[in-house]
Amino acid sequence: MVRFASRDWCFQLLLICGVSSITSVASAQTITSVSVLTDPQQSESYVHVLNISGTEFLKLGAANTTIPAFIAPSAGTVDARILSDTLIEARFTADPDDQIKSIVIAPAAKPSLSNVVPEITCKPDDILVQYEIAPLNQAKNTFGNGLAKNYHIIQLSIVSKCGRRIVVPLGGVKIEPVWHERQENDKHDYVFGAPYIAPYGLDHVISVYNTDRTLTGSRALILNITQGMTTVGSAIQGFFGPGFTQGVAIFGGGFRNAMLEVMKDMSAQQLKSLSSETFQTTETVGSNGSPPVQKFIFVPKTLVKLPSGQFQRIDNINSITITWFTSSESTQTQNATKVENMQ
């Protein structure tokens, strides 16, 4: 297993290969390019495939001959296999984000070959960002009526065509809202809010969801009122006749059970969807298109009364911009494209 380190790899290669080997007279064999096939599942234990392209490799040894390859920065060597006159292959284990700086082929009693690998960078054109607002009915079925009526639920999709993974923090999702403007028939005095806002986090929306399911939602109100009436009826049934007692038993038993059958409890499925499909504190987007990120973000849409007595409400979303970065690059920003008619 190869473990990349930050030591001076040039000095290490000089010690391993020997100055005389590196400074040997140039031969006909050359390395023209080096590429690494990365793990599509971003697994740290994946055996990465290193393809070394060049010319006249069969002069270094017969086909399927194994020769040592020194990968920098690294703490050891890997076995490379000569596949053809133009291709040498090596396999090694490393984190998907690690980048090869240089490689040296050092066959026994042969001149060594070296190549400096260009650094992989991500350009804005490599990152595809789209968003779409979920229809009300779909939002109700997936996340419950409480969140559907209180939030604009937006599906944000991010795909990276870059050769490296990128990281997108929730705080890096910048939303330009469309604030409600006061109309002639409005009872309230509306004012605009900030030009840009951030989406709500998972902890906040779960709290709103739980409150709706247990206290303020229509299902919770009906069941709580039914249970309350049954409790009161049970307490006073001794003052009335057998018919009242039987009515209380039916109301608190069969009638309530029938209501539970009609008003199915979808809490388990909705909480599972909420936990797995909501944008987390940070999301990692896989390299080369796999795996992408497709998560939901939440923007409040309910009426808010300010301390001044004025009101605010977000009617729509005008635009979304994400901020993303890699482990060795500066922060980049990217505008999202809106997709209409989400199914």
CA distance 28 to 60: 10
Residue with tokens 């809202």: 177
CA distance 309 to 26: 82
CA distance 247 to 334: 64
Burial of 266-305, coded b for 16+ CB within 10 Å and e otherwise, reads beeebbebbeeebbeeebebbbbeeeebebbbbbbbeeee
CATH tag for 124-201+278-338 (out of 2.60.40, 3.30.1490, 2.30.110, 1.20.1630)? 2.60.40
Per-residue confidence (pLDDT) for residue 93, from 0 to 100: 76
Q: Output the CA–CA distances (angstroms, integers) from residue 57 to 28, 77, 110, 116, 209, in the order listed.
A: 9, 19, 11, 18, 64
Local mean pLDDT, 10-residue blocks, the chain (343 residues)? 44 43 54 72 62 89 89 75 90 71 84 80 86 91 88 94 86 94 87 93 85 65 63 66 62 59 64 88 85 92 90 94 76 80 55
Are 9-116 and 124-201+278-338 equal in CATH topology?
A: yes
Pick from 203, 166, 178: which is nearest to 325 by CA? 166
The separation between CA 229 and the C-alpha centre of its own chain, rounded to angstroms, equals 47
Per-residue confidence (pLDDT) for residue 331, from 0 to 100: 72
Burial of 186-197, coded b for 16+ CB within 10 Å and e otherwise, reads eeeebeeeeeeb
CA distance 228 to 230: 5
Full DSSP string of 74-130: -SSEEEEEEEETTEEEEEEE--TT----EEEE--TTS--EEEEPPPP---GGGEEEE
Per-residue confidence (pLDDT) for residue 45, from 0 to 100: 57
Predicted TM-score of the model (pTM): 0.61
Per-residue confidence (pLDDT) for residue 326, from 0 to 100: 79
Pick from 65, 57, 80: which is nearest to 2 by CA? 80
The separation between CA 181 and the C-alpha centre of its own chain, rounded to angstroms, equals 34
Q: Output the CA–CA distances (angstroms, integers) from residue 41 to 28, 127, 288, in the order listed.
A: 39, 18, 11
Which CATH number is associated with domain 9-116? 2.60.40
CA distance 29 to 85: 9
Beta-carbon count within 10 A of 335 CB = 11
Pick from 223, 215, 202, 216: which is nearest to 143 by CA? 202
Taking phi first (over 0 means left), then psi (-120 to 50 degrees means alpha), and beta for anything else, what does residue 341 get?
Answer: left
- Please calculate the CA angle 270-272-278 and round it to the nearest 5 degrees: 90
The residues spanned by each domain of the chain are 9-116, 124-201+278-338
- Sign, CA dihedral 3-88-327-330, equals positive
